Chain A
């Protein structure tokens, strides 16, 4: 039964990804402007254009082009970038770690801010403290990451320059890394000087991405905590003499966390979508920054590759959320 559901879920996922591929392909092909004409030096003859068109497969019919491209994608061949003249897959894989590290750090920051605030709000329920948390949360929630990024640039990049606001790592540093997962590798190699430099670059963009999510975690977790606070087993723990904070951490939290966990998964995809503009804002060399360059340069194969990778990440996160929900929720587990 569960296996059947899982297989159905995988098929839906494949259909969604196929749909994304079709939509990107159609959107890009109706674009006016010839990418080939843009990459040739002035004075190139029509036969040069024809040769390049054939090289990139642009001389064939649209459905034919789509099938060739899709056949390649299935085998891991995403084509060649027109503006950078390199293999799209290796370009994307080269930038993806930077974005994944940024998104993960942002998620951690959101949890570090949101979790304790929710516990404090639940403990101080009905007081001015809770009202303050509600107001701050409401404001943080309605301001998008783009604006938070600009505010942080002003505050901590210019007025009180504590953090770096541009790039991923200081250009003067010698990097001994063999993968693109700089942060992970710097920790594994015990090069904490590099870790500090990376985090100092990462903190502002990650915080900008984290603030709306932190607000959601705070408000939702606080609500769930308050709902279980009057249930019998929580009252029992209180009668046993545990302090209110202990009651929340030992008893209430594990039962109230499920709705928040589900929501974090969905919101995490929004956070990853937000990396596109936040990376641009902080000149962070990730996938999103490359995506905007690709659009501006009309680099069709690269755009297709990047959008497809983003879509793949989104559906994988949704799948993980569904699975963990099924595993954590006893009603579904035994049902």
Chain B
């Protein structure tokens, strides 16, 4: 395939994914302005209202209501806040922790590498979802536990990639030159190696944000994230799974939202990767 076509395809992918992610971001920031109702307001007269195109819908509740009569659209919009917050903080923490350890393992080699690689092996032997549930149960439910759990579990993804890239870079001439020029190890690692391993890190970071959103949804689903009243996408999904035979829309809307968000994060990452890749470019 010629490179112009690849670039065009990855360009369209970047734009589409970026558009949806921007929507989610705006929803998160401007939730109080955008939400038609109070996401916590229950109204038992309005329980399980269908979405606007079906018989029995009410104006002001465009996507219908859940089994406590809370407006679905408003809960989805407020749920974006948790999703965006978790995506950024948890993925960035995992990224910083994993990249730092990966740089050290790849650049120093020897014992540092052996110890860090062994820890990565041990981490990879845990079923990740079970590990996350276990950590949150131990740390106590709450948003900070969710974020810590994701960072503690997923740093290995960054560590493995950065370690491999660093080992390649560390053998190159410019690093040798920097060493001869008398640069310290940390200075070489941070100002010479790091910028060159940044492209794969950025692509992985976008992917990790999608994973963080899913893990938060899974933890909300098993009721271990933030309190059940606060709107989260996973919480709405759990609620929808329960009333699936009475009101399918409670499951469909958060599912579609989550679907598009995760797909966008991964496509955005893929798009960035092919942008950065000098061979493809």
Contacts and interface: CB of A to CB of B under 8 A. Distances in A.
Interface of A: 12, 15-17, 19-20, 23-24, 27-28, 30-32, 138-139, 141-144, 146-147, 150-151, 153-154, 157-159, 269, 272-277, 280-281, 288, 291-292, 295-296, 298, 303, 306-307, 310-311, 314-315
Interface of B: 118-119, 121-122, 124-131, 133-135, 137-138, 140, 210-211, 214, 217-218, 221-222, 237, 241, 244-245, 248, 251-252, 255, 258-259, 262-263, 266-267, 270
Given A20-B126, A291-B130, A31 B138 contact: yes
A147 B256 CA distance: 9
A143 B259 contact: yes
Contact of B126 (A30, A146, A280, A307): A307
Given A23-B122, A31-B137, A288-B130, 14 more contacts: A12-B121, A19-B122, A30-B138, A142-B266, A143-B259, A146-B221, A151-B259, A154-B252, A157-B244, A276-B133, A280-B221, A288-B129, A307-B134, A315-B125
B245 A158 contact: yes
A143 B270 CA distance: 14
Contacts of A23: 122, 126
Contacts of B237: 150
A86 to B, nearest CB: 20
B121 A277 contact: no
Contact of B137 (A12, A144, A298): A298
A330 to B, nearest CB: 26
Contacts of B252: 154
Given A16-B122, A153-B241, A296 B137 contact: yes
B133 A146 contact: no
Contact of B210 (A142, A159, A272): A142
Nearest to A272: B127
A93 B122 CA distance: 23
Nearest to A266: B124
Contacts of B222: 277, 280, 292, 296
A58 B121 CA distance: 30
A159 B255 CA distance: 15
26 contacts: A16-B121, A17-B125, A19-B121, A19-B122, A27-B135, A138-B267, A139-B263, A142-B210, A147-B214, A150-B251, A153-B241, A154-B244, A154-B252, A154-B255, A157-B244, A274-B129, A277-B129, A281-B241, A292-B133, A295-B133, A295-B134, A296-B137, A307-B126, A307-B127, A307-B130, A310-B126
Given A154-B255, A288-B130, A314 B125 contact: yes
B278 to A, nearest CB: 21
A287 B105 CA distance: 35
Contacts of A303: 134
Contacts of A157: 244
B255 A273 contact: no
Nearest to A126: B1
Contact of B140 (A32, A159, A280, A281): A32
The secondary-structure label for the interface of chain A is helix
B23 to A, nearest CB: 18
B217 A146 contact: yes
B119 A150 contact: no
A296 B133 CA distance: 9
Contacts of B135: 27
Between B127, B138, B140, B211, the greatest number of chain A beta carbons within 10 A of the residue's beta carbon is seen for B127
Contacts of A298: 137
B262 A311 contact: no
A17 B210 CA distance: 30
Contacts of A138: 267, 270
A273 B118 contact: no
A64 to B, nearest CB: 21
Nearest to B251: A154
A296 B222 CA distance: 9
Contacts of A274: 129
Contacts of A141: 266
A30 B140 CA distance: 11
Nearest to B133: A295
Contacts of B221: 146, 277, 280-281
Given A27-B138, A147-B258, A153-B244, A19 B128 contact: no
A311 B275 CA distance: 38
A19 B140 CA distance: 24
A30 B241 CA distance: 33
A182 to B, nearest CB: 23
Nearest first, the 9 closest Cβ-Cβ pairs linking A and B are A142-B266, A19-B122, A273-B127, A311-B125, A31-B138, A276-B129, A295-B137, A314-B125, A310-B127
Contacts of A143: 259, 262-263
A16 B118 CA distance: 7
Contacts of B241: 150, 153, 281
Contacts of B128: 273
Contacts of B119: 19
Contact of B255 (A27, A150, A276, A292): A150
B118 A15 contact: yes
Nearest to B259: A147
Given A144-B214, A158-B248, A314 B255 contact: no
Contact of A28 (B138, B140, B211): B138
Nearest to B245: A158
A223 to B, nearest CB: 13
Contacts of A158: 244-245, 248
B134 A144 contact: no
